[in-house]
């Protein structure tokens, strides 16, 4: 089983294609940004499967950290900025949930529009 708990598929067929050096570099960079092998990245793109870049998971971690800092500010100021911090926390939660849904859909193999 792989990291997404899906059975391994035996892949025997090789498909070749010709692309320019610039295109090859772009594809390699996109695969690296997604933390996927080149083969897995191309396979997902061709089959229309969702690709959630690793950067999105880094952003999610940062949003959670910012939420903690906002809570700390709220507690330290004894709620002086409660309306502002509440609005900011709601905005962070909304974006965090959207990223979590995108990541969940990617891991379930859900097709759809990719985020790259």
User: pLDDT tens digit string along 44-87?
Assistant: 999 988 776 666 777 888 888 998 898 888 888 888 888 888 88
Average pLDDT in the chain: 81
For the chain, give the secondary structure using H, E and C. Answer: CCCCCCCCCCCCCCCCCCCCHHHHHHHHHHHHHCCCCHHHHHHHHHCCECCCCHHHHHHHHHHHHHHHHHHHHHHHCCCCCHHHHHHHHHHHHHHHHHHHHHHHHHHCCCECCCCC
User: With bands split at pLDDT 50, 70 and 90, how would you rate the model's confidence at 1?
Assistant: very low
Q: What is the pTM of this model?
A: 0.47
């Amino acid at each position: 089983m792989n990291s997404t708990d899906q059975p391994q598929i035996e892949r025997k067929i090789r498909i070749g294609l010709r692309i320019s050096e610039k295109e090859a570099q772009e594809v390699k960079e996109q695969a690296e940004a997604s933390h996927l092998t080149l083969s897995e990245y191309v396979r997902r793109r061709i089959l229309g499967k969702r690709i959630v870049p690793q950067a999105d998971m880094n952003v999610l971690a940062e949003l959670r950290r910012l939420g903690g800092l906002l809570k700390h500010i709220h507690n330290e100021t004894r709620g002086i900025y409660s309306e502002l911090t509440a609005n900011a926390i709601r905005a962070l939660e909304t974006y965090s949930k959207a990223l979590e849904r995108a990541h969940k859909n990617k891991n379930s193999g859900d097709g759809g529009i990719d985020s790259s």
